[in-house]
Chain A
Amino acid sequence: DQQVKQNSPSLSVQEGRISILNCDYTNSMFDYFLWYKKYPAEGPTFLISISSIKDKNEDGRFTVFLNKSAKHLSLHIVPSQPGDSAVYFCAASASNFGNEKLTFGTGTRLTIIP
């Protein structure tokens, strides 16, 4: 049972435009959500997170939106840059379980076209 889903395995965006990556979850106990960026053969790099008490969090070019009623979150990157080309994973955890266990989505490969 895939509790966190990223339905788009890949996405291509022109440099300078907005990249929007989507993530859906099914477990209503999740209350903390994160986005990681990963290059091949490297560890995931933390980008941005959001708690379920918020619906938006912004950090520089990265903004995460959370829609709890739809169990949906999205990551907006604007403007997109060539260095943003990577695989992006969303992840979720539940404070009832100490936030120890991260459940990852299957990832979306983002390609920024110069």
Chain B
Amino acid sequence: DTEVTQTPKHLVMGMTNKKSLKCEQHMGHRAMYWYKQKAKKPPELMFVYSYEKLSINESVPSRFSPECPNSSLLNLHLHALQPEDSALYLCASSQRRGGGDTQYFGPGTRLTVL
């Protein structure tokens, strides 16, 4: 089973709203990732959590705040977003093992900021 689940599937929010995206995996993976993907572009890495600790922040604006409550869950808290933040937000997980590490992606949350 290589399933990563994400909720909600779609989200529309105003620039003053606070919302959260959720991601869950039960594969025992120890690394979890947030990506942002705009239309006709490849996914762009935002954050990496490795063994529940933030290991990579790709200079993401502070209006995006990640949280990893435990090894199976990953949240992305959103506040005061801009219309240009509208995109598909993807979560992924991997075993975090030596050598090749395959990332498995969830279905994504389509975010629209009005």
- 17 other A-B residue contacts (CB within 8 Å) besides A36-B105, A44-B43: A34-B103, A41-B88, A41-B110, A43-B107, A43-B108, A45-B105, A89-B43, A93-B100, A95-B99, A99-B94, A99-B101, A100-B33, A100-B48, A100-B96, A100-B101, A101-B45, A104-B43
Interfacial chain A residues near B4, Cβ < 8 Å: 43
> Could you tell me if A100 and B31 are in contact, using CB atoms closer than 8 angstroms?
yes
**Closest chain B residue to A34 by CB distance?**
B102
> Could you tell me if B100 and A99 are in contact, using CB atoms closer than 8 angstroms?
yes
> Main secondary structure on chain A at its contact with chain B?
loop
A52 to chain B, nearest CB (A): 9
B50 within 8 A of A: yes
Q: A100-B50, A100-B56 are in contact. Are A42 and B108 (CB under 8 A)?
A: yes
B3 to chain A, nearest CB (A): 11
Of residues 60 through 108 on chain B, the ones whose CB sits less than 8 Å from some CB of chain A are: 88, 90, 92, 94, 96, 98-108
A32 to chain B, nearest CB (A): 4
Q: A105-B42, A106-B41 are in contact. Are A46 and B102 (CB under 8 A)?
A: yes
Interfacial chain A residues near B96, Cβ < 8 Å: 98, 100
* Cα–Cα, bound, A42→B37 (Å): 11
Number of interface residues, chain A, beta carbon within 8 A? 24
* Cα–Cα, bound, A51→B90 (Å): 25
* Cα–Cα, bound, A41→B88 (Å): 7
B55 within 8 A of A: yes
A18 within 8 A of B: no
> Could you tell me if B99 and A32 are in contact, using CB atoms closer than 8 angstroms?
yes
List of 7 A-B pairs having minimum Cβ-Cβ separation, nearest first: A104-B42, A43-B105, A99-B101, A32-B100, A44-B105, A43-B108, A43-B107
